[in-house]
Amino acid sequence: MTGNDALEALLARLAASYDGSVFFSVADLRKWPKVAVSAFQKAELLKPAAPAVSVTCNGCGQHCSMPVEIVAEAGRSAAFVVCDKREDINRVDVPLERLERWQASCEAMAAFLAATLDINRPLNVATQVKRWDVGRLRSKRVEPVVLTIVDGLALELAGHSVPLDEVLSLKGGRLELDRQRLVDCVDNPAGGGRASESGAQRALRIATRCEQLKETGSRDFREVVAREEDVSVETIKKLLTKAKLLTSTRIAKEI
Binding test (CB under 5 A) with Zn ion, winner from 10, 29, 46, 83? 83
Q: What is the DSSP letter of 158?
A: T
Binding test (CB under 5 A) with Zn ion, winner from 30, 42, 47, 85? 85
Q: What is the largest distance, in Å, between two alpha-carbon atoms of the chain?
A: 79
From the CB of 64, what's the least distance to Zn ion, in Å?
4
Comparing CB distances to Zn ion, the nearer of 60 and 115 is 60
Comparing CB distances to Zn ion, the nearer of 88 and 254 is 88
Comparing CB distances to Zn ion, the nearer of 9 and 82 is 82
The total number of residues written for the chain in this structure: 255
Please list, residue by residue across 131-151, b when 16 or more beta carbons sit within 10 angstroms of its beta carbon and e when fewer do.
bbbbbbbebeebbbbbbbbee
Binding mask 32-71 for Zn ion (x = CB under 5 A): -------------------------x--x---x-------
Comparing CB distances to Zn ion, the nearer of 15 and 83 is 83
Comparing CB distances to Zn ion, the nearer of 81 and 167 is 81
- Assess 106 for contact with Zn ion (CB under 5 A): no
Beta strand segments in the chain, E = 21-25, 47-49, 54-56, 65-67, 69-73, 76-82, 91-94, 101-105, 131-138, 142-149, 153-157, 160-163, 168-171, 174-177
- Assess 91 for contact with Zn ion (CB under 5 A): no
Comparing CB distances to Zn ion, the nearer of 61 and 173 is 61
Where does residue 74 rank: exposed (0-12), middle (13-18), buried (19+ CB within 10 A)? Answer: exposed
Please choose, out of 19-27, 79-87, 111-119, 188-196, the segment that lies near Zn ion by the rule CB under 5 A.
79-87
From the CB of 93, what's the least distance to Zn ion, in Å?
12
Please compute, for residue 177, the number of CA atoms within 13 A of its CA located in the half-sphere on the CB side: 17
Q: How many Å apart are CA 145 and CA 137, to the nearest integer?
A: 7
Residues 6+ positions from 225 with CB-CB distance below 8 Å:
206, 209, 210, 213, 236
Query: Judged by CB under 5 A, how many residues of this single chain contact Zn ion?
Result: 5
From the CB of 72, what's the least distance to Zn ion, in Å?
24
Instruction: Return residues touching Zn ion (CB under 5 A).
Output: 57, 60, 64, 83, 85
